[in-house]
Amino acid sequence: MRPERAWVRLESGRRLDLLQPAPDSWTDRDLAIGLSRTYRWGGHSCWDLPLSVAQHSLLVLVLRQKLTPFDKLTRGEALRELLHDADEGMLSFDPISPLKPHLGADYDSLVSRLRTAIETRYGIPASDDERYAAHKRADRLAAASEAVHVAGWSQQDLQDTLGIQTRPLAEDPLPALTGLKPWEPWQARTAAALFLAKLRELTGSEPLEYPADLDACMAREKTVAELATAFSRLPPGRRLRCGRPPTGNSLTDTLVLVEAWDHSASIEGVIVDGERDEEGAWDFDAPFTVLTTDEELITCRGDCYVDIQ
């Protein structure tokens, strides 16, 4: 008799065993994609799109800092906020609160194992009562605001039906995205890209003065979008020679800073041609072509330093 399958194939090709999850079973990109396609409020929304857990996670991170403006979050605390619902992205399931008590001990155990794998993978620091209470204040404020501005509940129903006493925010604290209104849910690719950018920032080695700030992520995404527009303006013959046309989204576009081996020159831009290794990462030992922020196509031939932005 064949054992029942309890693993899922992720976008990267890796297999995540949901019953016995290993901390190296997924990539950061897998997690970002999963959270961007897992929806809050049962997937219901008064907008054209539902609200993703990825967008909610960024909202909670921003609110957590805003609620304690004179107590700057550490890198680890910011990472804990960003990943507080990460298990939901692995399950592709965010149960509404009234349903949770009916899911039973097996579900609780499953979630516990996933959270342990996440905490181990990212080295999330332990929380104490004070920090947990601060997190819950941010999470409840996010829920109250989403209920009214996204799910369409009235403020009276917020209290009488949902039992949420927290007063919702009027203004959306997340950065405004071009073409979108305040509180409007983002497209999945946008939510995944911004979540992934923040996750990489928090798990990177570069110093961060404000770990909860989203400005650098937004600026990076804007640069990637502008480079895609610049690519579309190139003569057709030059575009055809590039095997990886940029999409304008950092989920698929790789923004790099390339510096000559003797530090004599550097360029910033997105990779538009080159070779990939067995795991799908760019092979920087082989020639690769960059569309620079100066709108030039420059081919690098392995004699340089490459920093993925």
Number of domains observed in the structure of the chain: 2
Is 230 among the domain residues? no
Is 152 among the domain residues? yes
The reply to whether 171 and 92 lie within a common domain is yes
d(CA 129, CA 74): 17
Is 212 among the domain residues? no
The reply to whether 262 and 202 lie within a common domain is no
Tokens (6 digits) for 235: 């003569």
> What pLDDT band is residue 265 in, cutting at 50, 70 and 90?
confident
137 has pLDDT over 90: yes
Q: One-letter amino acid identity for 81?
A: E
In this prediction, residues 53-74 reach a mean pLDDT of 95
The reply to whether 50 and 193 lie within a common domain is yes
The reply to whether 186 and 267 lie within a common domain is no
Residue pLDDT, tens place only, 174-211: 999 989 999 999 999 999 999 999 999 999 888 889 99
Lowest mean pLDDT among 25-34, 47-56, 80-89, 259-268: 259-268
% of the chain residues with pLDDT over 70: 99
4 has pLDDT over 80: no
Is 288 among the domain residues? yes
Residue pLDDT, tens place only, 202-248: 998 888 899 999 999 999 999 999 999 999 999 998 999 899 999 99
Q: What is the pLDDT of residue 2?
A: 57
CA-based angle 274:275:280, to the nearest 5? 120
The reply to whether 139 and 273 lie within a common domain is no
The reply to whether 161 and 69 lie within a common domain is yes
- Which of 184, 206, 228 terminates a domain? The answer is 206
The reply to whether 125 and 263 lie within a common domain is no
Is 224 among the domain residues? no
The reply to whether 26 and 165 lie within a common domain is yes
The reply to whether 162 and 16 lie within a common domain is yes
35 has pLDDT over 80: yes
13 has pLDDT over 70: yes
The reply to whether 200 and 79 lie within a common domain is yes
Q: What is the pLDDT of residue 3?
A: 60
97 has pLDDT over 90: no
**DSSP of 228-277, one letter per residue?**
HHHHHTS-HHHHHT-SS---S-TTT--EEEEEETTSS-EEEEEEEE--B-
The reply to whether 174 and 40 lie within a common domain is yes
Q: What is the pLDDT of residue 207?
A: 87
Domain that holds residue 286: 237-308
CA-based angle 102:106:111, to the nearest 5? 95
Q: Within its chain, how far is the Cα of 160 from the centroid?
A: 33
Write the CATH number for 256: 2.30.30
Write the CATH number for 15: 1.10.3210.10
Is 84 among the domain residues? yes
5 has pLDDT over 90: no
In this prediction, residues 3-19 reach a mean pLDDT of 88
Max CA pair span of the chain: 67
Tell me what the pLDDT averaged over the chain comes to: 93
